[in-house]
Structure 1
């Protein structure tokens, strides 16, 4: 199986061109290739496929083999792959995902994609649709007890469920302990991605993220969108353009308000190509 490893702000995936390759057992393959000691090493597997409804299809799997609906960092790398490898010459493309069709605008320098702006769609705020168990129709700055500690969280979906928690300090957070507790909390029937946020100023936030099925990652595109939306809803920032500082880099998020789409802009990088298993 020929593959390309790519990343967006350190959120790395193994990409397979399914126009020419076939992956029979993607769930099992995702687990094998994601292993950072015995595999290629990644946050998951993304298959780039033909589509009847868009220019391309993104079929993604987390590191534990579970299927993902959407990945903001992953889809930017899909755009880079298809352009840089000659599958398209368009600088605006559509990609079908588990959470709908996304439109991407590609910024090209010297024949290669450098950054991508993605229309991520409108955030879902209705608790039932996220889904999240709640006595209220929306969950904005609601209390929750996790592992015996009290927090306030805001829940929304960007094609996958998110819980955003504001803290005074995220650097010293023991995310490997609290992250799994949030992920498997009874309030989240489909598990949840959790963003831990420190507000820097009126247009900048710092974020660490625990992704369901992958653990802590250096970046999460849908999580950055969720964090920016939650920051605006909770009046933590005054700007509709929010810079999100992640462990793997910086993403720019724009949201005009309810009923409007969220736009995500960030880099896409090719790391290396290869064949798995090596030498076969």
Structure 2
């Protein structure tokens, strides 16, 4: 039997498995089965915490569809709570620093990337305001914050068909590794309302990397200066970034319960 914790960051929920003592052979099919909300445990992402020779721990991230991805901001905030102390974390997106704060954690998410081939895009173009769009959406921005994001700044989010537009854009050939799709609305000084169609997971209550990418895109377009409050359906995140620096994300992380499971049954 293997132990796991159910955790969430603003309702973006995770099954977190400690693989440091007992290795878990994770495949796409197994991750998908564990994430299934009807026949499995249920989660937006499955998180494997492992040993690292570069940091305190390593973190692998699997979306609900079984695909392994590079980064997950909400999950990163859960790691110091899961481990029980401030930690450095080795991820496919690089080394991250996570510190516990009252009710959650503050994470240095590293520096954003803006080059077209770092997003990545299928061909060269400007990324602050891409010369492309879909239907009547405005020209988006693209940012890589460890994983790829495209951001649309809209006058009004109400009435947007996220469930139709999200997968249409996620799977567009312009994005060879698919993309996370952010629909944003400026609602006040340094305040953004955000809905995210997450690559491999669909609509989620919150997306930490999406909040980071959206705040960075807004600051880069000189729409506002940091720190930026990003309001997602699950709650608020505080994102701070200045050009040339790294992104600091602060927000809640919650431990829900612990459990045991036989991973060979998935």
TM-score interval w.r.t. the shorter chain?
Answer: over 0.9
Deviation, structure 1 residue 197: 0.1
Alignment of 1:244 with 2:245, yes or no, is no
1:188 match: 175
Task: Report if aligned partners of 2:19, 2:48 keep a CA contact under 8 Å in 1.
Answer: yes
Task: Report if aligned partners of 1:144, 1:153 keep a CA contact under 8 Å in 2.
Answer: yes
Structure 1: gaps of 5 or more residues: 84-89, 109-113
Question: Which consecutive aligned stretches of 4+ in structure 1 deviate over 4 angstroms post-superposition?
Answer: none
Task: Report if aligned partners of 1:210, 1:217 keep a CA contact under 8 Å in 2.
Answer: yes
- Within 5 A, what are the aligned runs for 1:96-107? 96-107=90-101
- Matches of 1:53 and 1:33 in 2, distance apart? 28
- Within 5 A, what are the aligned runs for 1:73-222? 73-83=74-84, 90-91=85-86, 93-107=87-101, 114-136=103-125, 138-146=126-134, 148-222=135-209
Task: Report if aligned partners of 1:5, 1:13 keep a CA contact under 8 Å in 2.
Answer: yes
Task: Report if aligned partners of 2:137, 2:152 keep a CA contact under 8 Å in 1.
Answer: no
Deviation, structure 1 residue 129: 1.2
Deviation, structure 1 residue 36: 1.5
Deviation, structure 1 residue 172: 2.4
Task: Report if aligned partners of 1:2, 1:21 keep a CA contact under 8 Å in 2.
Answer: no
Task: Report if aligned partners of 2:117, 2:124 keep a CA contact under 8 Å in 1.
Answer: no
Helix, strand or coil for the counterpart of 2:117?
A: helix
Q: How many residues align structurally?
A: 263
Helix, strand or coil for the counterpart of 2:59?
A: strand
* CA RMSD in angstroms, aligned pairs only: 1.6
1:96-144 deviation per Cα after TM superposition (whole angstroms, max 9, x unaligned): 0011111112125xxxxx22111111110111111013443x3112242
TM-score w.r.t. length of structure 1: 0.89
Structure 2: gaps of 5 or more residues: none
- Matches of 1:58 and 1:25 in 2, distance apart? 13
- Matches of 1:135 and 1:61 in 2, distance apart? 29
Helix, strand or coil for the counterpart of 1:145?
A: coil
Alignment of 1:273 with 2:261, yes or no, is no
Higher strand share: 1
Deviation, structure 1 residue 233: 1.4
